[in-house]
Amino acid sequence: MGRIGKRELIVPPGVEIKISAASFQVKGPKGTLAQEYKPGIKIEFKDGKLLTICHSKDPQALALQGLYNSLAKNMIDGVTKGFEKRLELVGVGYRAAKQGKGLQMSLGYSHPIIIEPPAGIDFEVEGQNKITVKGIDKQLVGELAAEIRQMRKVEPYKGKGVRYQGEIVRKKAGKAAKTASGA
């Protein structure tokens, strides 16, 4: 079956792990994250390694074992290194500025868009058209970056909008010019 659930996660020094009956908590230099898990999966921490164990042969239980192993790995990476997503604003007049802890964007609408970050998320703005979303929770960082991107989707004709840094936008050919009709 799957191999992800069976891998041993090496916990770096400075990271504490607390396991209770239905949840586990990871505490590190950047913060603390907690995750609940289903009773069919057993999570163990010994000798500096975190293990997810499943005694069932049920495919759904084995899938959950891999899920909790990946979530634990992301939590360990988050409290030690953190996660970030970079966005670019492409278009005339599209700009972003930091406003307190929040983010104010001008995306061609009649009003500015103001986004207040949830707890644990920080914004950085480079110049006027590059935004970095940073945090320790991978899911929250990705979700917020996706919400910002949805504010003005990249349109396929000129490539204007909010995109991830390095994202390749395939442009469509515009309407073909009329040719002289046999006159």
Q: What confidence tens digit (pLDDT) does each residue in 100-141 have?
A: 999 999 999 999 999 999 999 999 999 999 999 999 999 999
Q: How confident is the model at residue 39 (pLDDT cuts 50, 70, 90)?
A: confident
The set of residues, in sequence order, having a beta carbon less than 8 Å from that of 73 and lying 6+ positions away, is: 9
Smallest Cα–Cα separation from 162: which of 85, 91, 84? 91
Give residue 179's region: left, alpha or beta (phi > 0; psi -120 to 50).
beta
Query: What does the CA dihedral 111, 112, 116, 117 come to, rounded to 10 degrees?
Result: 130
CA distance 89 to 152: 9
What DSSP element (H or E) covers 31?
strand 31-36
Mean pLDDT of the chain: 92
pLDDT digits (tens, 9 = 90+) for 47-76: 999 999 998 888 999 999 999 999 999 999
d(CA 102, CA 104): 7
What predicted TM-score, i.e. pTM, was given to this entire model? 0.86
Look at residue 173 in the predicted model and tell me its pLDDT. 87
